[in-house]
Structure 1
């Protein structure tokens, strides 16, 4: 008896404690407001200058009145979401107990929320799973009970039908019905109604356009629930589940003309918000402050989607480009495709998702920067361009012109994009060090290989293909621009939540030291020459201080044979360049890699770069990079402090009287030559003796024929002096 009384007493204490805890949570619940029950929880996107440029969830919404709810839709919603909707008072104890038992026995996550609670959550709280705390659950339950006292069941059901998110930027079931089928809710048949009723559970996952198999599975669950609830017959059920999920679906269209400018950028913003905060922009009513430069974004769109600035070979050629603030890593503009189908929402972003080969644009960051970083060599170090095989193989390293230019400086080797020197340097630095270096630039290969010295394209044994996106490329080159500091690219800088609180810390990306400042400057100094007189001359912008690198990929001999094409076609062409202010990477090619770029259009990537970089640079100060401490310039070559040792002064040579004017001239010429040779700077023991200026190709230079690698496109006649003031 005493034990029984004790248990009762303990039970009463637990009950009272539970009531007290519940009330402590519930008393702080938000007040019920009709405006929040009716309005969409739209998320607003703001540009870097604070301007609102897009809103998700604020599109025109088709609503219905309580008297207009079709009976078939009502039966579907209640059967699958809340079978005792008309019996409970806002919360359903039976449903709660049942979900607990089910979750314990199956390990599942079945919810116990009623339709009323779901409406409260959609209207007043975040829908993110991490926010479903005991406190929030208590507040939802309390508010649901209060709502049931103020509103009728039909009003609550109507709010729910008009409120829920339905995928593809659509809110409300009537809106989705007209967008999906071109019909009002009352005109839908049974399987169509079931699909609409089931979508709010997980709109994107059950989207019939993007995930038809998932959509059919969810639709059939709704139909099963309706049969179990006695709302449809067995025959109706069997006929409905046999109906194809796409029957009656119409292509989606949008009336938001401005969306096309921002689609790819918004895709990454939404992904970043979800990744760093777990929030859903479609349901949580956020204010998202992005790093977007609206003017740059629109100009980039116009350059890539018209022939006003750049001449494209056809409408199918694709462009992927990323513009990054070189000092901060903020992504200010991005385009992930060209001539995208009208009405596309959150489409494929080639600027981030592509795994295509960016060719020799990897050389500065995969070979030359690591060489300067780890080997302490100068830009004047000489290296021999000669027949060479990948170490441990019989595979020869081929240059773009199938020729060898002999001894040259590292500066010349990079400006002329010679492959043999690049692979030699790769082996001299070592794969492990290069892999570590690249990781600090946000680039990771499953296994770095010798071929990565001249190309980003790798296929692992499991078939995984590694390329490099314009996003990663622009971010890596930005580190060269800002003195060796790498900033993780970021699209968002702040979020304001529905309750007024802010999230800033999650979007702070402190830079990391990726390389010495001297390393970044040496590479930059060379890459300035690529644009001034090398393969990147097509990117010249008069007076602008800039550096950059070209890159093209190659077809194999077998692929060329299959294409019945000459060696002057290739699958990818890339250009990446930067100033003190911006880093911009542009990839061009076709979605079908077997569709080749001809030599005539090899300069499209640098054309796009030139037009965009010139535009964005017109509104910022045109600055040159300042040579950091620790470097010395001899001629045009750069040496680390203490690395260059001046040769001893030659003793005076007694001159003989000139026998004739011609002999005097000859002697003078000979003396001048001797003097020039004797002042050639010597180097540290790790290098051969560098000349005062870079070694040029052999006296009889090869005449390169158009090829698949690093052929300079047709360009203006003379480069512009960097001292010339910038011309917008």
Structure 2
């Protein structure tokens, strides 16, 4: 290669090298610029965060020592504004800083805040660790220190929806300020004395005395760990209600103590082997009046949580309820004493709900009878019972839908005759195993005949019936013709669907007020610690569930149930009221297990109403195979009568007015423009006394009639006459819509009357 070629090659290489250097410098510049950009963005974000933190911190409440010391008690007020109960305001057992047992201190710090003695109120290491843990495990581990938890309990709502960036900033700011003013031991003492510990108890010393009958310094290691772990989720880890959960939490506390070198392996093993109920004693309520309101408060607490997310145990609320204190206490006495009603034994249970028909307000409720002393927030059979309410569903599932959708009249004739559920080989039987032939719908309902009810259900159709009852707050996963005479079904997986006393009273209230359904409500307002109020969440607006004519037709018939039908035991002298009995039956298999010579049933119900109140009462036994004999089949109507008599004495006693659109002919009601049936021509027919062996007991009711049965008849088609719409006018008879002179109900207790034994 000559010199010129070499020279050219060297020049080309130099150019390539320069270009390469320029590219590297350019790439480096880009990387540097990107890095600086990120740094700048980070600085801006940091400064913005600091600015935002400071902005939020400035609006934080001031540290108030009284709020650190006092429990976040909630107060409950009755419909008249009277305070009738509180949670957390009762006397607490507190300790001082130098009285904290070292074992308890080790347990709390180990499980809640291992770096408690090292941080300044907030713990950046804990926050970062929690964030990384949540990212890698998908969990929700908290980063709050004990100091922050104390601040939250004292100044803010503990509800998850309130844990905003603003609130977190304020918590952190106040935590740092508190650490400047108080020692670690003082902060720990505030925490021990303040935390909620389940069962309406505040403070660990209070819980120790209530749970074990001794102070914190006398507890064993296992008992101390149980106490230390409760504040994390008091109700979930309640050793009385949820012992398995409580043991799991206690063992976690013990494990953290071992990991923190506070106990030995041997101590750990011995403690986790200790039964969770070791040393637990029976709880006693904080005051004597709690027993009157336990079931009602159970629903109040649940409604507040469901509608607002607030916790009455930790948020310090003033809760304004719809309870009528005097009615509630009267209901309690009726159910738990022998002054008003004769009960067969102490095991019979009663569930009852009283509702204001014009607002949906639950004014009194009881969910159990002879509940063990000391029970707090126990089972409420008025809301969660899944038993059969029998024929009380007939107005809801058969007659009202037929009036509403098919425009049937109360005078329409229907035949009570041998009948099988459509599409099945199962016979429908009546309580007396007889068939009475042709009768009006009015008489069929007053006498609670099962065959007419099943026929009406089929006439309307399950879909339309379901549509109707859904508007009354009643839902079934599956609705069949069996429900024409029964409120309870079981699906293939064994799930029970029933109607509680609460739902039944609310549905019947729509009959009482002319067709409007109100969702039952226990609360009308809550007031927060800062004085603000929440009313919108509890503002229930009624929704039209049926035509006014439908409601009146049902009411007009059900008045006769009390005056001359199966519900005469509920009669109250002078009071305008309507109601329906309900009795369930056993299956053949269940009857074979009981082997009783008497007429028996597992459930007996009465639901009734006036223009002011709706009241539904269920009676039965926790053990379904313990039967109600015919002698005590009327306990439900006894309870109804005694309470309705009491509450109706202080309100106007005015009859329902017949709405426009109806015409009364004799005692029967017709929608204007519809055909009026003439009595059917009939001839006597031999009574059918044989009950179908295929009949399921849950498909029929066993309510004895108090009227004289007419001979069963065989019918021939009836004639109809159509009349033009006319202006309805009052008629002078007991079933008319004329407004009579209000009469004061008889307030003298009526002696219970044993029910007659149904005719085989």
Answer yes or no: same fold by TM over 0.5: yes
Secondary structure in 1 aligned to 2:580? strand
CA contact (8 A) 1:570 1:708 kept: no
Call closer, same or farther: CA 1:5–1:448 in 2, change over 3 Å.
Answer: closer
Secondary structure in 2 aligned to 1:443? coil
CA–CA separation in structure 2 for the residues paired with 1:124 and 1:473: 42
Aligned position for 1:447: 478
- Cα deviation for residue 701 of structure 1 reads 9.5
Secondary structure in 2 aligned to 1:588? strand
Asked if residue 709 in structure 1 is aligned to residue 740 in structure 2, the reply is no
Q: 2:392 aligns with which of 352, 361, 366?
A: 361
Aligned position for 1:399: 430
Aligned position for 1:642: 673
Aligned position for 1:259: 290
- Cα deviation for residue 720 of structure 1 reads 9.3
Aligned position for 1:725: 743
- Cα deviation for residue 247 of structure 1 reads 1.0
Call closer, same or farther: CA 1:321–1:137 in 2, change over 3 Å.
Answer: same
Structure 1's unaligned 5+ residue stretches are 645-682, 684-688
CA contact (8 A) 1:288 1:495 kept: yes
Aligned position for 2:342: 311
Asked if residue 465 in structure 1 is aligned to residue 458 in structure 2, the reply is no
CA–CA separation in structure 2 for the residues paired with 1:713 and 1:45: 45
After superposing the two structures, state which structure 1 stretch, 23-32 or 10-19, moved more: 10-19
Q: 1:599 aligns with which of 619, 622, 630?
A: 630
Call closer, same or farther: CA 1:581–1:702 in 2, change over 3 Å.
Answer: farther
Structure 2's unaligned 5+ residue stretches are 1-31, 692-699, 709-732, 748-760
Alignment map for 1:64-463 (pairs within 5 Å): 64-463=95-494
CA deviations 1:286-345 (Å, max 9, x no partner) are 111110000110000000000101111111111000000011111000000000000100
Call closer, same or farther: CA 1:410–1:714 in 2, change over 3 Å.
Answer: closer
CA contact (8 A) 1:45 1:287 kept: yes
- Cα deviation for residue 713 of structure 1 reads 7.0
Q: 1:41 aligns with which of 63, 72, 78?
A: 72
CA–CA separation in structure 1 for the residues paired with 2:527 and 2:428: 54
CA–CA separation in structure 2 for the residues paired with 1:258 and 1:642: 57
Q: 2:678 aligns with which of 680, 686, 690?
A: 690
Call closer, same or farther: CA 1:452–1:467 in 2, change over 3 Å.
Answer: same
Aligned position for 2:41: 10
- Cα deviation for residue 280 of structure 1 reads 0.7
- Cα deviation for residue 395 of structure 1 reads 1.1
Secondary structure in 2 aligned to 1:135? helix
CA deviations 1:441-478 (Å, max 9, x no partner) are 11111111111001112111111112211000000000
Call closer, same or farther: CA 1:381–1:27 in 2, change over 3 Å.
Answer: same
- Cα deviation for residue 557 of structure 1 reads 2.3
- Cα deviation for residue 566 of structure 1 reads 3.3
Aligned position for 1:676: none
Secondary structure in 2 aligned to 1:289? strand
- Cα deviation for residue 14 of structure 1 reads 1.6
Q: 1:622 aligns with which of 653, 656, 681?
A: 653
CA contact (8 A) 2:104 2:225 kept: yes
- Cα deviation for residue 6 of structure 1 reads 3.8
- Cα deviation for residue 239 of structure 1 reads 1.3
- Cα deviation for residue 641 of structure 1 reads 0.8
Call closer, same or farther: CA 1:441–1:49 in 2, change over 3 Å.
Answer: same
CA deviations 1:254-310 (Å, max 9, x no partner) are 241100000000000011111111111111101111100001100000000001011
CA contact (8 A) 1:408 1:695 kept: no
CA deviations 1:645-671 (Å, max 9, x no partner) are xxxxxxxxxxxxxxxxxxxxxxxxxxx
- Cα deviation for residue 4 of structure 1 reads 4.5
CA contact (8 A) 2:194 2:203 kept: yes
CA–CA separation in structure 1 for the residues paired with 2:418 and 2:40: 92
Aligned position for 2:565: 534
- Cα deviation for residue 2 of structure 1 reads 4.7
Greater Rg, structure 1 or structure 2?
Answer: 2
CA deviations 1:679-706 (Å, max 9, x no partner) are xxxx3xxxxx234xx999979999999x
Alignment map for 1:463-542 (pairs within 5 Å): 463-542=494-573
- Cα deviation for residue 3 of structure 1 reads 4.6
CA–CA separation in structure 2 for the residues paired with 1:194 and 1:695: 82
Call closer, same or farther: CA 1:5–1:562 in 2, change over 3 Å.
Answer: closer
CA–CA separation in structure 2 for the residues paired with 1:447 and 1:41: 45
Call closer, same or farther: CA 1:568–1:334 in 2, change over 3 Å.
Answer: same
CA–CA separation in structure 2 for the residues paired with 1:90 and 1:473: 54
- Cα deviation for residue 237 of structure 1 reads 1.1
Call closer, same or farther: CA 1:697–1:32 in 2, change over 3 Å.
Answer: farther
CA–CA separation in structure 2 for the residues paired with 1:70 and 1:223: 16
CA contact (8 A) 1:602 1:713 kept: no
- Cα deviation for residue 599 of structure 1 reads 0.4
- Cα deviation for residue 561 of structure 1 reads 2.0
CA–CA separation in structure 1 for the residues paired with 2:599 and 2:495: 28
After superposing the two structures, state which structure 1 stretch, 340-349 or 464-473, moved more: 464-473
Call closer, same or farther: CA 1:514–1:343 in 2, change over 3 Å.
Answer: same
Call closer, same or farther: CA 1:7–1:389 in 2, change over 3 Å.
Answer: closer
Call closer, same or farther: CA 1:492–1:209 in 2, change over 3 Å.
Answer: same
CA–CA separation in structure 2 for the residues paired with 1:530 and 1:703: 24
CA–CA separation in structure 2 for the residues paired with 1:106 and 1:5: 33
CA–CA separation in structure 2 for the residues paired with 1:32 and 1:640: 70
CA–CA separation in structure 2 for the residues paired with 1:523 and 1:317: 31
Call closer, same or farther: CA 1:180–1:698 in 2, change over 3 Å.
Answer: farther
- Cα deviation for residue 567 of structure 1 reads 5.7
Aligned position for 2:603: 572
Secondary structure in 1 aligned to 2:420? coil
CA contact (8 A) 2:583 2:605 kept: yes
CA contact (8 A) 2:127 2:143 kept: yes
* TM-score of the superposed pair, with normalisation by structure 2: 0.87
Aligned position for 1:633: 664
CA contact (8 A) 1:632 1:638 kept: yes
Q: What RMSD in Å do the two structures reach over aligned CA positions? A: 2.1
- Cα deviation for residue 18 of structure 1 reads 0.7
Aligned position for 1:668: none
Secondary structure in 2 aligned to 1:40? coil
CA contact (8 A) 2:604 2:620 kept: yes
CA–CA separation in structure 2 for the residues paired with 1:14 and 1:53: 52
Call closer, same or farther: CA 1:373–1:82 in 2, change over 3 Å.
Answer: same
Call closer, same or farther: CA 1:514–1:695 in 2, change over 3 Å.
Answer: farther
CA–CA separation in structure 1 for the residues paired with 2:689 and 2:82: 54
Secondary structure in 1 aligned to 2:66? helix
Secondary structure in 1 aligned to 2:549? helix
CA–CA separation in structure 1 for the residues paired with 2:291 and 2:157: 28
CA contact (8 A) 1:538 1:712 kept: no
Name the count of aligned residue pairs.
679
Call closer, same or farther: CA 1:596–1:254 in 2, change over 3 Å.
Answer: same
CA–CA separation in structure 2 for the residues paired with 1:604 and 1:411: 25
Secondary structure in 2 aligned to 1:447? coil
